[in-house]
Structure 1
Amino acid sequence: MRTAVFALTEAGAQLARRVGLALGDQATLFVSSRHAILGAQTFGRLREAVQENFHRYDALVFIMAAGIAVRSIAPYLVSKLEDPAVVVLDEQGRHVISLLSGHVGGANRLTRALAAALGAEPVITTATDVEGLVAPDALAAELGLFPEPHAAILAVNSALLRGESISYYVDPACALAPFYREELARRGLTVRELAERERETRPQVIISAACTEARAGRLFLRPMALRAGVGCRRGTPKAAILAALKESAARIGMPMEAITSLGSTVFKREERGLHEVAAELRRPLYFYANDVLQRIIEQYGLRESDFVRQTIGIGNVCEAAALAAGGGRMALGKTRFEKVTVALVWQQGQEWQESQ
């Protein structure tokens, strides 16, 4: 996930370097202008830096007191279903604290990953994690699903904490129904037949794009669109692009069939390999003009390649093309393969129906 890292002090700026190394290309460092370091952007006032970048990134990491972080983000919070992940580190790097959007936003996963990389202690306080339970909203984040309605998340998780059994159902009409069943079984969760849902009174979790019958204690997990942005060299064959897409999906724990659309620059609209891949996967293929991709680059503060800019006039293709379909959360940042670059973005919305 694209992550902004903020640091106020000299010690914090030095730790930000280590965080940046742990996160790789997906991290952008922001440090106080009083403690500038190579490779980091600087700010005069933290509040203004947070305001500018809060909606640009999937995750925010603050290397400072938790109270400062809370006051900085408070004006921009909407809900646990929309806010970015927020993680806080003390400037000695002893503790990594999952502060906000632990499940849906992925802050708990980010906390564990950073703690492991830094040799720190992860601090996770969400009740289901503390009790070692599989929370449906955390499961949703792992499998590219969007939980709704909001009230049902609390109802189902509360039932779990009371020791109640939760019934899981997978709509057989879902394109990835076998995959979802396998993943639920792998986590020790029993899947019931969808037709039984009206006979059950216990709390329910239903994976479906179409079921809408709401009732108390019924949580829907909606499949999200997975947008693939693709860059490639001239003449790249179909096999190379397919291999890159398959490996990219595998890196986020998904099958290639989860990809719902492909996007690239108009400079690649004559690439036979891209058209053949789209035809084989039976997915729509979009080509975006430079001005569209440039707006996305500026909106999200995407990193640009000088070489790519000199070649086609813009400095980022795959990430910008993945986000151009309507924004979303970066599932996989720019990843290089032989002759191909791929980025993946999860997007909530109606266009999942394209692949159904």
Structure 2
Amino acid sequence: MGKLKIAVVTINQPSLTAACNLMPHLHDYDVDVFGKKDLEHNLDHLNLYGKIDEIMQPAWEGYDAIICILAMGAVVRKIAPFLKDKATDPAVIVINLALDKIVPLLSGHLGGANELSDTIASRIDGCVNFVSTATDQTKTLAFEMFAKKNDLEIHNLKELALISNSLLNKKEVEVLTYESIFETIPNKKNLTRVDKQSSELCVNITPFDSPLLTFKPKVFLGMGCNRDTSFEDIEKAFLSFLESNKLIIEQIENIASFEAKADEKGLLEFATKYNFDIKFYNESEINNLEGKFSPSASTKFFGLKGVAEPSSVLISKYKELIINKEVYDKKITIAAAV
């Protein structure tokens, strides 16, 4: 990911002067300052505008965050026409002329306004970050922040308010997920892991579709094949595996196999076509892996616990097998892990 792209919006000489004072604290970001002509500044470049309405839409569409050094009421009125949803709106921050009070106004979590405000406040002596989001103030788990930090794809975001408010009200919330993922949740207060939903207050953290608030982790595949299996047969098996398990190609992060398959032309061609950085694991790595796996012909031929299942676990993020191996045409095996 590249540098955060920030627009700093000023309205007059005092706010432009404040922007000049702010710039050293934003040295590791990609920052453009917007201001009016005929004002004094020490910037290498100032983006000029006539009326503030001219720049708000380009700033909204072209930047990750907008820092406004002007009245909060004016900011609210100017951004109102562009508001869409918390998943796509940029971070909007308001900071005062003295640079000692900062407010993450919009997109505090997914847009990163709270985090950016925290960073700025930590860099300016005496600067206070006024965070209004209840989960931050009460140190309650914010599922969307957990998802953002762990690269989980978010679905049914409209259900987030119910879940967040329930946690704030100290109600029990179910989490439909795997033990390995559940253990990574930093604050499990009022959370219960389940294998099957029994309450409307439930969050789904699996790669599979659900009407619930859903956070999808990436999926990693382990693949095995007979010698000289063609690319066409491997691709057909792969697409069948996705279809039968209701997954899509974009969910697959990478694939893996046993090192004896490192010269399989069909497998390498398949990895190249789908832009997978295929990993190959040796006998020791596979056999030292804890856990039980499905019976495999590789035990007879290579002395291995398996190929598809252990390879998928080894390459995965959470080391959790979620789909046991499936066999295609008696020569291709595929398993999935998260």
State the TM bucket, normalised to the shorter chain: 0.5 to 0.7
Matched, 1:116 2:114: no
Give CA deviations for 1:199-252 in whole Å, capped at 9, x if unaligned: x3262222233x2232xxx31113489xxxxxxxxxxxxxxxxxxxxxxxxxxx
Mark the CA change 1:223 to 1:61 in structure 2 (over 3 Å): closer, same or farther: farther
Mark the CA change 1:280 to 1:78 in structure 2 (over 3 Å): closer, same or farther: closer
| TM-score, structure 2 as length reference | 0.59
Which position in structure 2 is the counterpart of 1:140?
Answer: 147
Question: Please, which of 159, 168, 176 is the counterpart of residue 152 of structure 1?
Answer: 159
Matched, 1:19 2:22: yes
| Matched-pair contact (CA < 8 Å) for 1:165–1:202 | no
For structure 2, which runs of at least 5 residues remain unmatched after alignment? 220-250, 255-270, 280-336
**1:168 Cα shift?**
2.8
| TM-score, structure 1 as length reference | 0.56
| Matched-pair contact (CA < 8 Å) for 1:106–1:141 | no
Which position in structure 2 is the counterpart of 1:269?
Answer: none
Mark the CA change 1:52 to 1:188 in structure 2 (over 3 Å): closer, same or farther: same
**1:140 Cα shift?**
2.0
Q: Secondary structure at the match of 1:28?
A: strand
| Matched-pair contact (CA < 8 Å) for 1:88–1:96 | yes
Q: 2 CA distance for matches of 1:72 and 1:169? A: 41
Q: Secondary structure at the match of 1:97?
A: strand
Which position in structure 2 is the counterpart of 1:313?
Answer: none
Give CA deviations for 1:244-278 in whole Å, capped at 9, x if unaligned: xxxxxxxxxxxxxx9959xxxxxxxxxxxxx99x9
Which position in structure 1 is the counterpart of 2:209?
Answer: 212
Paired residues in the alignment total 226
| Matched-pair contact (CA < 8 Å) for 2:72–2:94 | yes
Q: 1 CA distance for matches of 2:278 and 2:66? A: 36
Matched, 1:127 2:134: yes
Which position in structure 2 is the counterpart of 1:175?
Answer: none
Of 129-138 and 16-25, more deviation after overlay is shown by 16-25
Mark the CA change 1:183 to 1:13 in structure 2 (over 3 Å): closer, same or farther: farther
Please report the RMSD computed on the Cα atoms of aligned residues, expressed in angstroms. Answer: 3.2
Which position in structure 2 is the counterpart of 1:92?
Answer: 98
Mark the CA change 1:153 to 1:34 in structure 2 (over 3 Å): closer, same or farther: farther
Q: Secondary structure at the match of 2:145?
A: helix
Give CA deviations for 1:166-213 in whole Å, capped at 9, x if unaligned: 2334358xxxxx5x45531x445698666x133x3262222233x223
Which position in structure 2 is the counterpart of 1:80?
Answer: 86
Q: 1 or 2 for the larger relative contact order (CA 8 Å, sep ≥6)?
A: 1
| Matched-pair contact (CA < 8 Å) for 2:83–2:89 | yes
Q: 2 CA distance for matches of 1:280 and 1:145? A: 19
Q: 1 CA distance for matches of 2:183 and 2:100? A: 37
Mark the CA change 1:282 to 1:189 in structure 2 (over 3 Å): closer, same or farther: farther
| Matched-pair contact (CA < 8 Å) for 1:98–1:111 | yes
Q: 1 CA distance for matches of 2:79 and 2:58? A: 11
Mark the CA change 1:280 to 1:157 in structure 2 (over 3 Å): closer, same or farther: closer
Mark the CA change 1:146 to 1:71 in structure 2 (over 3 Å): closer, same or farther: farther
Q: 1 CA distance for matches of 2:183 and 2:94? A: 34
Question: Please, which of 161, 167, 174 is the counterpart of residue 167 of structure 1?
Answer: 174
| Matched-pair contact (CA < 8 Å) for 1:169–1:191 | no
Of 76-85 and 35-44, more deviation after overlay is shown by 35-44
| Matched-pair contact (CA < 8 Å) for 1:148–1:221 | yes
Which position in structure 2 is the counterpart of 1:65?
Answer: 71
**1:108 Cα shift?**
0.9
Q: Give the percent of matched residue pairs that are identical in Structure 1 and Structure 2.
A: 23
